[in-house]
Amino acid sequence: MPSLVSPRLLFLVGEIIPLKKLSRGSSSALSQGSVRFFSRVDRHKNAPLTLANLGFNTEFEKTTKNKRNKLENVKVNYPTEAPKSREKVAARDKSRAVRVKKTLEIESAPFAAKSFSELGLPSPLIERLEMEGFNVPTDVQSAAIPTILKNHDVVIQSYTGSGKTLAYVLPILSKVGPLKDKSSTGDKETGKKTDIEAVIVAPSRELAMQIVREVEKLLGPENKRVVQQLVGGANRSRQEEALKKNKPLIVVGTPGRIAEISAAGKLQTHGCRFLVLDEVDELLSFNFRQEIHRILEHVGRRSGADPHGQKNLLVRSADRQTIMVSATVPFSVVRAARSWACDPLLVQAKSVIPLESLTPGSVNLSRPTTSSNSDLNLQHQATVQSLPPALKHYYCVTRLQHKVDTLRRCVYALDAQSVIAFMNHTRQLKDAVFKLEARGMKAAELHGDLGKLGRSTILKKFKSGQVRVLVTNELAARGLDVPECDLVVNLDLPTDSIHYAHRAGRTGRLGRKGTVVTICEESEVFVVKKLQKQLGVPIPVCEFTEGKLIVTDKEEKHAEASSNSEHSMKLEEEYSFRMIQQPVKEQRQGRRQVPSSFNSCSFQRNGSPNLLPDNIWRAL
């Protein structure tokens, strides 16, 4: 059936809803066109976010005579003409177009490339990839690499363990360093060859160090100095000396340390071509607000620009290529990307669409939610497609004092060899390790109270199999890649579905099998039910009997019992599932206001934000 909507209308949808009118769950700003847009989303509940699935594809194809994508079920189209908003910006400030962007020819973008050579990477890099055993790109890499190579600012969203790191590292290495495409004009653009050309920011030392290792692996031992880590907890003067001596082209670090060294004038990033914010939703949270603000304002800013001039701010954002990455993309990230990036695109495993066509309600809902609560919807949207499809989820009900014992039985029942158990408080975490060890299970603790060396030693032991159960907190929830990890256990409940998704994603990496078990008290079962609804995955109740995991049919019984329990009702009241906004009131004169996307969202207990108990991120 021919669609009623023309491709032009797609952008009308983006344009007739003025951005300022959009609020969470707002329907008043929606025009007729946008209503049609949503109804189309409903019809494709289980499909990925593509224009095809939004109902625009057929018409678009007919009118623009675009070729079909190679993949039958993947239809992605791309604007051939610039949206009006873009034209307006260009007219307002012509100097903004410092970085020339080519329109992506979507027909030529392989969404499931069979080899890295199809993606336009230079041959020295492909050779290195083959040497390291990377032969076939993942879906998200197939979509992201050509898009970044065409100079687009992007938000990369794909489920945990799907290879997002290489999705941005490879296009950077194609343009920066010894493996780059020799025809690259980068050096002329950036001026001095000794300038930092790429800054990669990650929210934890562990993740930053992991990224450094991934880049070093590709560069090879002879080129290790091209990349340098700048993480908190390590000697700052040594890092500054290394910067001076080695003149790295790529730095990877935590926001605090990068901002600190940059403020001291020891890190020259004005000519920087790439800024990557890995785990962007975490980086935009309240904890990192100031540091990230500084980084966004300084990286890729040409020297000589007036830091207080509005005009120069625009030039600044266009100078660098901004890449934002996460498995979970709440709408706050979409807003931040619109604010800090230049015409950003949302890159998912099988689709590339302009971010400006997204509204809070238009993010793909792969599974319907029955809740009418718009906050819940937003939380749901943020976690859609964040979990590897093969992961299995269960929950098990026990008393508080039996949790560790249940964990032990769970490990034996599943015969798990590499387990990450998450808790919320350091003291209880230490007790759990003590109990496990006392019962003969090799366990270790990983949390922010440990020094940098202690943390990396424990991680090494866990990765090498010397430690079977790693008991940790949110420190290890994001980005940590231990491919062997076959079981994740929530000994304490995560604060929200986003935290659940990242914890769960430590297992089942890159198509491997993985199980997630949440061990909770009866009064907490309603939380698991809500997580299940938000994540759109079944989480059946189970027991561990006679060394086996048994899925019981007591689900309803538990739900009933917990909802009747007085304590549980009180808890539910307290643990109100409301996303809270921590307003940021910062507007220094002459400086750009921190966008509202710097608000952090979390569930709330007693009306106060449920901040991470150990305040681990502050230790950066």
Ligand X SMILES: Nc1ncnc2c1ncn2[C@@H]1O[C@H](COP(=O)(O)OP(=O)(O)OP(=O)(O)O)[C@@H](O)[C@H]1O
Q: Pick left, alpha or beta for residue 420 (phi over 0 → left; psi -120 to 50 → alpha; otherwise beta).
A: beta
Contacts to ligand X from residues 302-361, by CB under 6 A: 327
Q: Which is nearer to ligand X, 169 or 519 (CB)?
A: 169
State the minimum distance, in angstroms, from the CB of residue 275 to ligand X.
Answer: 17
State the minimum distance, in angstroms, from the CB of residue 163 to ligand X.
Answer: 3
| Consecutive H or E run containing 562 | helix 555-564
The three-state secondary structure class of 323 is strand
Report the C-alpha gap between 529 and 539 in whole angstroms: 8
Binding range to ligand X, per CB under 6 A, among 162-170, 359-367, 368-376, 389-397 = 162-170
How many amino acids of this chain bind ligand X (CB under 6 A)?
20
Binding range to ligand X, per CB under 6 A, among 155-163, 241-249, 421-429, 524-532 = 155-163
When asked if residue 161 is in the footprint of ligand X (CB under 6 A), the reply is yes
| Consecutive H or E run containing 250 | strand 250-253
Q: What are phi and psi of 276, to 5 degrees?
A: -110, 130
- For strands 608-609 and 604-605, give the pairing: antiparallel
* Torsion sign across C-alpha atoms 211, 216, 217, 218: positive
- For strands 274-278 and 321-326, give the pairing: parallel
When asked if residue 162 is in the footprint of ligand X (CB under 6 A), the reply is yes
Contacts to ligand X from residues 471-510, by CB under 6 A: 479, 481, 483, 505, 509-510
The residues facing 157 across adjacent strands are 326
Binding range to ligand X, per CB under 6 A, among 132-140, 295-303, 372-380, 440-448 = 132-140
State the minimum distance, in angstroms, from the CB of residue 162 to ligand X.
Answer: 4
State the minimum distance, in angstroms, from the CB of residue 480 to ligand X.
Answer: 7
State the minimum distance, in angstroms, from the CB of residue 564 to ligand X.
Answer: 38
Q: What are phi and psi of 539, to 5 degrees?
A: -125, 85
Residues 36-75: x/- map of binding to ligand X (CB under 6 A)? ----------------------------------------
When asked if residue 514 is in the footprint of ligand X (CB under 6 A), the reply is no
End-to-end CA distance of the chain: 56
Q: Which is nearer to ligand X, 67 or 213 (CB)?
A: 213
Total residue count of the chain as it appears in this document:
620
Among 7, 137, 146, 186, binds ligand X (CB under 6 A): 137
Q: What are phi and psi of 353, to 5 degrees?
A: -135, 155
When asked if residue 204 is in the footprint of ligand X (CB under 6 A), the reply is no
Among 48, 163, 344, 595, binds ligand X (CB under 6 A): 163
State the minimum distance, in angstroms, from the CB of residue 381 to ligand X.
Answer: 17
State the minimum distance, in angstroms, from the CB of residue 585 to ligand X.
Answer: 32
| Consecutive H or E run containing 188 | helix 186-190
State the minimum distance, in angstroms, from the CB of residue 283 to ligand X.
Answer: 13
Binding range to ligand X, per CB under 6 A, among 80-88, 134-142, 233-241, 368-376 = 134-142
When asked if residue 138 is in the footprint of ligand X (CB under 6 A), the reply is yes
Write down the residue that tokens 């997204």 correspond to.
Answer: 358
Q: Which is nearer to ligand X, 10 or 284 (CB)?
A: 284
The residues facing 411 across adjacent strands are none
Question: Which residue intervals of 76-204 are DSSP H helices?
Answer: 84-92, 123-131, 139-149, 164-175, 186-190
Binding range to ligand X, per CB under 6 A, among 17-25, 156-164, 193-201, 586-594 = 156-164
Binding range to ligand X, per CB under 6 A, among 136-144, 218-226, 436-444, 487-495 = 136-144
Question: Which residue intervals of 7-83 are DSSP H helices?
Answer: 7-16, 32-43, 57-64
| Consecutive H or E run containing 353 | strand 351-354
User: What would the 3-class secondary structure string for 594-609 be?
Assistant: CCHHHCCCCCEECCEE
Among 69, 142, 160, 351, binds ligand X (CB under 6 A): 160
- Give residue 537's identity as a one-letter amino acid code: V
Give Cβ neighbours of residue 440 (< 8 Å, ≥ 6 apart): none
Q: Which is nearer to ligand X, 392 or 592 (CB)?
A: 392
**Residues lying near ligand X in the complex (CB under 6 A):** 134, 136-138, 141, 158, 160-166, 327, 479, 481, 483, 505, 509-510
